[in-house]
Every structure is written in structure tokens, then in C-alpha cells.
Amino acid sequence: MSGNHMPEQPAVDRRVQRSRAALMAAAVRLVSERGTTALPVAEFTEAANVSRKLLYMHFGDRDGLLVAAAIDLVERELLPRTVEMDGDLREHVLATVRHFAEHRPFYRPMLTGPCAFAMTTKQNSLLGSLSRDTVRDVYGDLEQQTLNDLALVITSGVSAVVNDWLINADDPLDPDAMTDRLQRMASALINSRSGGGRVR
């Protein structure tokens, strides 16, 4: 190997990555179109043009594929948007809410199907770092376990409100109104910490 040339990635690895990506894309598309996660494994593998063996080998089962597809969607589409933003919390929240609203046809069945618990757990883990920063800003230095616990409480609570909105709110969803609602919740928490008055 000479200069700055990186070794070529083996063709088999690229094929596996393409197959995984095709399966996750098929999962998002089929669940969005059908409005349910209760689809046979064969539908996902046929849509992605891969074998059932590959799905089981890389995702374990259908629910494993669906949860991986949801996390992949967040990592590919949402996280890059928020990384590019400055420290404006409202813009971060609005980008997050818009992402979930845009993909409501996928997330709604995910949140009401058999993999809802696994998806919510992964979602909270993925978005928890944002909550840890907020908790640290509001409460200052905390013992690590307390910081993690408070971040989990906040992330879980916000997720519950957003998930309820995705599942039950009438169309069309209004991301700006939901962002305002979440900001009022945040203000209430911050004001209660600082001894402020009631938030209306």
C-alpha cells in the first residue's frame, strides 16, 4: 500500500451493506404503504431482492429488521440535519418533530405494532444525548447516574407526547404547534427548577 490509498473494501462487504440497506429501505416503504408491520418476511426479502437467510442472519427476525430500519432512518435523515444546526434548541426540536411527521405513515404502525417497545427503547437511547445536554445545562453538575436517569425521564416523556401525537392527532400534523407545546413543557420544567411562577 502506498501514499494515501486506502485498501479496497472487499466486494462481499459492499454487497452485504447494499443488501442490508435494500432490506431497510423496503421495510420503510412497505410499512408506509400498507400501514402495518404485520407483513410476511417474504414481502421484505422479495422487495429487496435478497434471501430470507440474509434477513435472519443480519436482523434476527422481522421485528429486528423493522427496528433497525427505524433507527437507520433517524440516523440518515434526522441526525445530519441537527448536526448542521447551531445551538438553537427550538430548531433542533422542530427538525425532530418534522422528521417524525414527514414519516408518519411509517412510524405510526411501528408505534402500534409488536415492535413498539423495542423501537421506543432504541429511539430513547438514540435521542438521549440531547436530553443529557439539556439536563446538564439546567441542573448543572450532577452525579453521572442521576444525570442519565433524569435524561431518560425527559426523553421518555417527550417521546410519549410525540408518539401520542403521531398516533392520534388528526391530519395534517402541525410540527410548529407540537414544537411550541414541547417548548412550553421545557419552560415549565426550567421554571420549576428556578422557582419561577406557573407556566400557562
The model's pLDDT over 12-37, given as tens digits with 9 standing for 90+, comes to 689 889 999 999 999 999 999 999 99
Q: How far is CA 80 from the centre of its chain?
A: 12
Per residue in 86-134, pLDDT (tens digit) is 667 788 889 999 999 999 999 999 999 999 999 999 888 877 776 787 7
Per residue in 121-166, pLDDT (tens digit) is 988 887 777 678 778 877 888 898 998 888 888 888 889 999 999 9
Per residue in 65-77, pLDDT (tens digit) is 999 999 999 999 9
Q: What would the grid cell of residue 101 be? A: 411527521
Q: Are 48 and 26 spatial neighbours (Cβ–Cβ below 8 Å)?
A: yes
Alpha-carbon distance of 136 to 147, in angstroms, equals: 7
Distances (CA, A) of 123 to 80, 116, 118, 134, 194: 16, 10, 9, 17, 29
Listed in sequence order, the residues at least 6 apart from 128 whose beta carbon sits closer than 8 Å to its beta carbon are: 148, 151, 152, 155
Selection from 100, 104, 145, 106 nearest residue 126 by Cα: 100
pTM for the complete prediction?
A: 0.83
Q: Are 82 and 92 spatial neighbours (Cβ–Cβ below 8 Å)?
A: yes
Task: Check residue 115 and give its pLDDT.
Answer: 93
Distances (CA, A) of 162 to 6, 49, 142, 189: 43, 34, 27, 17
Identify the DSSP state of 7. P
Q: Are 178 and 162 spatial neighbours (Cβ–Cβ below 8 Å)?
A: yes
